[in-house]
Structure 1
């Protein structure tokens, strides 16, 4: 017991000693305090700290990317900062060790640097790609020693999601910077807009840019993808703000914006509050163009909708498509019959889309090529649905219209594809249109290839069969016939052609900005410049537009335009070759820019004006190939 009391006493005294060291005193009346407790105890001195490491200037030798901030006392990597990479060298590191610098140099930061440099070299010289050899982990161009030193250790592969995203972002930045530099080198540029909905039901705005760049000794237009932005609301205000924000983010001068090309939707070209109207309030000299390919499709669709039988004809083609494409059994029967008859030309039945009406040509041609096999499958099945489809396609009227449309829609489809060329300018639009209209006119009096082949198997007049019905045999099948059907078929086809011509006339007339583009096209036409004086109305229209663009005053524009015509004629009189196309005349203006700066500005606006927005449609098609339902669900 005595020993336990002694231990408790020692324990309490040690506690009091600890408390007294921090300035506490005992309030109890017990005599626990001693003179030793009243004296200040001796506090042990701290251990001496190691001296802080300093930045060694020799580390910057052959490392231009390394930067030391003496005020913050931190090291930074300028390359990683410019590449928007997140690591300790972008946030700043105060650990001054050479091994950290060397490790960063061999690691991800240096990899991004070399990938960026190599990408820029490949972008400038695509043939360099042929000299590359792929190693197990990383690409290594022949003759390059930098990429060989990138492997930090056996555990670092740079294959994580974050590394791949950083590599992709680095490559994207190089390509985008190159594109922006090319656009900045052009005096003017034009944007092409379109909006669409992706598989995740998000509305997106896609923007392409058309500008001028010098290739060799010629200045030619180029088109490239600029960006895509998601829209919260697809109205004119949201689209305008997103477009302006995108152009400013890319560092493009909006004062050089010369025009906007759209698909003609009301939200784009609305006269009160459309996108074009809003942009013109800020930049008055903008030219607005409506996609030629969209106008052609709308004209053909409008003409077809006015013919009652053609509306029914489209419904029959869609029913045929669904009958085979949505039933594997029917499709297998069709392929089997085609193999037996050996009459298939490799064309499958296609669906008719009203929004893409010129794709109708492929649907009609497929029915014409596979008619014998399609009818054979329906007669073999003999179900109610098959017989219901067999009735409307086994008559003279259907076959006549099908073969006629196969001939008439082919030149229209060729015209549509021509209008979707990226290198097409406005000087070729009217020539292609007038030639197509002449071909359509000839089809009324001179049947095309498909219709001529059909009429050779048809009697000149309806004939009665043994049952007392007007029928004839076509490709081994009985077809109903009558004088009424023949007259209605001819009337439907002629009405469609006249409707197409009238619709094209109304949609392709020169109104608004189309007047300016037509005047520019005629002015730079070689025949107009060399053989005859351009109409004074064209010079007035061009001069007024250039004055709105603040290029020069109206009087100065008119004088220089006339002087340029005389300059071209003088070159022809001196046996100098001016050119055979409008592009050649524009090159003359560019080469003589010091003498004719106003004419050069007019030529720039003609060449940058896009004919169609087909590039935007191709961009959305590529987006849908990348952003699929499977990837969207991940």
Structure 2
């Protein structure tokens, strides 16, 4: 009898596992709930008996929601257990709207788990109040932390996208949370800052604003008509150019300008030919666009941006790296600014090509370029040459080799506009570098925390005095919320420096955290706490994760996994 019961229990467990597995994968792959029965069919085909019959099959929307909710509760419970053991943590916030146009607040917690940064979606909260004011958001956050059993005193950082409701100096969310947690640091997402630095650089530069409007107009002209799209593809194929759709510029989408400009560069002859063909049939919008894109300054700015934007794009991608920490941000920004300033001293690869492709012939100015300039490999090689500059090349016989050209374009206003490019380059590059420097100006506390980075310690000629002043500021900041003695912290910091120089000079902060936790916790409690705080100050550098799990309810419910 016992064996029969055990067999029955095992059979039921296998059946339940099959249903839960199907519900979990449905959510993680963002599939509609209508796919659930087909997943069950697949499981049964693999030999699992799910005991479905005509009356009981557990595949209704309500059943699937209950399965997913149960899984999410278990995952969240495990995550919260890890978070509470860790001690300190940071939160990352973002506002959004769901498919039903309801206001939502996404609240993430970031903490260290097994010597790795981990992210946990605490909740996707619906804001039912009239507007998402700072007071409403703070009340939701405090309620959420209280419901999850998280100690507000252990909150050391909050990351946001920089919206005024979040970062307002008088009554913003960060300000109100700091009033309750004096040592809390608010961090504006690095990738957002980078995107804003690039997008806002076009302001007050008339030519760049005109260019952005023209790019958006080109996108709308073709995206609003399948007939025009078909004609564009037809001409692209005729000219043996890549068949690409034009992209729009979005202020909230990172790298959208770089993508839009790259497509325009690769298909520019086809764009002009298509607009000319459509305009000849009497389309006034096509005629107007043709007059714009055939101006010298349009293709000149396209070449210029092909030189500039990859530097900003590379910086943004580096900021989205999972291994990013705050000690790397300033060097990355400084390197990018230096590279951009170099373009003022020496033309980039694509501006240099512009002068080669622009030829005067029979009283007209033509834009004539080799067909391989539209190939992705050639474009990427040009970008790589800019980023990995290794000296000037000497002229060679290969440079004079003629290759097949594609789709000559007659440029307008060349004489009037050719002298303006250096001025525009200078204004735009200076605007971007100034924006980057202003937006990534480090706060005093963040600068002080850098004295805990092992590589910074080992680079110093005088280890004994290095970081004393900065570490005291850090210790005094945390002493407002913890019972640590500042003098004890300073003494342990001196031991920490000797430990780093002697045995761990090449370790990262996260690796040092693990070492202190496993080997020296009792002797280095103060430094352990400071390192913990550093790790959670670096966590909110990115709110990238917050921007993704929005699209479906099931994905949001399993955002912890």
Distance 2:195 2:42 in 1: 50
Distance 2:491 2:340 in 1: 43
**Residues 57-108 of structure 1: CA deviation (Å, up to 9, x unaligned):** x99x989xxxxxxxxxxxxxxxxxxxxxxxxxxxxxxxxxxxxxxx9x899x
> Is 581-590 or 234-243 further displaced after alignment?
581-590
Question: Partner residue of 2:312?
Answer: 412
SS in structure 2 at match of 1:199: coil
The counterpart of 1:518, out of the listed 443, 447, 469, is: 447
1:547 and 2:445 aligned: no
Query: Would the alpha carbon gap of residues 450 and 152 (structure 1) be closer, same or farther in structure 2, given more than 3 Å must change?
Result: closer
Distance 1:135 1:166 in 2: 16
Query: Would the alpha carbon gap of residues 317 and 137 (structure 1) be closer, same or farther in structure 2, given more than 3 Å must change?
Result: closer
Contact 1:195 1:205 (C-alpha < 8 Å) held by counterparts? yes
What's the CA shift for 1:613? 0.7
Contact 2:454 2:509 (C-alpha < 8 Å) held by counterparts? yes
What's the CA shift for 1:579? 2.2
The counterpart of 2:119, out of the listed 205, 223, 226, is: 223
SS in structure 2 at match of 1:374: helix
The counterpart of 1:266, out of the listed 164, 170, 180, is: 164
What's the CA shift for 1:335? 0.6
**Residues 457-496 of structure 1: CA deviation (Å, up to 9, x unaligned):** 224xxx5844xxx623434121135444122122112110
The counterpart of 1:362, out of the listed 249, 254, 259, is: 259
Structure having the higher Rg:
1
Question: Partner residue of 2:531?
Answer: 603
Distance 2:438 2:66 in 1: 52
SS in structure 1 at match of 2:244: coil
Query: Would the alpha carbon gap of residues 486 and 243 (structure 1) be closer, same or farther in structure 2, given more than 3 Å must change?
Result: same
The counterpart of 1:248, out of the listed 132, 141, 146, is: 146
Query: Would the alpha carbon gap of residues 153 and 195 (structure 1) be closer, same or farther in structure 2, given more than 3 Å must change?
Result: closer
What's the CA shift for 1:578? 3.6
RMSD, aligned CA:
3.4
What's the CA shift for 1:114? 4.8
Larger RCO, structures 1/2 (Cα 8 Å, 6+ apart): 2
Question: Partner residue of 1:614?
Answer: 544
What's the CA shift for 1:251? 2.7
What's the CA shift for 1:175? 1.6
What's the CA shift for 1:141? 9.8
SS in structure 1 at match of 2:86: coil
Distance 2:73 2:18 in 1: 9
What's the CA shift for 1:179? 1.6
Question: Partner residue of 1:27?
Answer: none
Question: Partner residue of 1:536?
Answer: 468
The counterpart of 2:113, out of the listed 213, 229, 244, is: 213
Contact 1:115 1:167 (C-alpha < 8 Å) held by counterparts? no
Question: Partner residue of 1:275?
Answer: 173
Contact 2:89 2:155 (C-alpha < 8 Å) held by counterparts? yes
Question: Partner residue of 2:373?
Answer: none
Contact 2:304 2:351 (C-alpha < 8 Å) held by counterparts? yes
**Residues 124-161 of structure 1: CA deviation (Å, up to 9, x unaligned):** xx9xxxxxxx875977999xxxx86x749764323344
SS in structure 2 at match of 1:185: helix
Query: Would the alpha carbon gap of residues 313 and 154 (structure 1) be closer, same or farther in structure 2, given more than 3 Å must change?
Result: closer
What's the CA shift for 1:595? 1.0
Task: Give the TM-score normalised by structure 2.
Answer: 0.79
The counterpart of 2:409, out of the listed 477, 490, 501, is: 477
What's the CA shift for 1:117? 12
**Residues 198-239 of structure 1: CA deviation (Å, up to 9, x unaligned):** 33221100011111111xxxx121123221000123011111
Question: Partner residue of 1:422?
Answer: 322
Contact 2:99 2:551 (C-alpha < 8 Å) held by counterparts? no
1:316 and 2:214 aligned: yes
Distance 2:266 2:74 in 1: 50
SS in structure 1 at match of 2:256: helix
Distance 1:111 1:160 in 2: 20
SS in structure 1 at match of 2:312: helix
Question: Partner residue of 1:561?
Answer: 493
Contact 1:427 1:525 (C-alpha < 8 Å) held by counterparts? no
Contact 2:159 2:189 (C-alpha < 8 Å) held by counterparts? yes
Query: Would the alpha carbon gap of residues 281 and 141 (structure 1) be closer, same or farther in structure 2, given more than 3 Å must change?
Result: farther
Contact 1:116 1:171 (C-alpha < 8 Å) held by counterparts? no
Contact 1:258 1:286 (C-alpha < 8 Å) held by counterparts? yes
Distance 1:106 1:422 in 2: 41
Contact 2:201 2:432 (C-alpha < 8 Å) held by counterparts? yes
1:198 and 2:98 aligned: yes
State the number of aligned residues.
493
Distance 2:19 2:414 in 1: 75
**Which structure shows the bigger proportion of residues in helix conformation?**
2
The counterpart of 1:493, out of the listed 412, 425, 429, is: 425
Query: Would the alpha carbon gap of residues 355 and 509 (structure 1) be closer, same or farther in structure 2, given more than 3 Å must change?
Result: same
1:337 and 2:235 aligned: yes
Distance 1:242 1:113 in 2: 39
What's the CA shift for 1:320? 0.8
1:347 and 2:247 aligned: no
Contact 1:264 1:291 (C-alpha < 8 Å) held by counterparts? yes
SS in structure 2 at match of 1:158: coil
What's the CA shift for 1:111? 6.3
| Unaligned ranges ≥5, structure 1 | 1-57, 64-102, 127-133, 628-634
Task: Give the TM-score normalised by structure 1.
Answer: 0.71
What's the CA shift for 1:368? 0.9
1:166 and 2:66 aligned: yes
Distance 1:362 1:136 in 2: 42
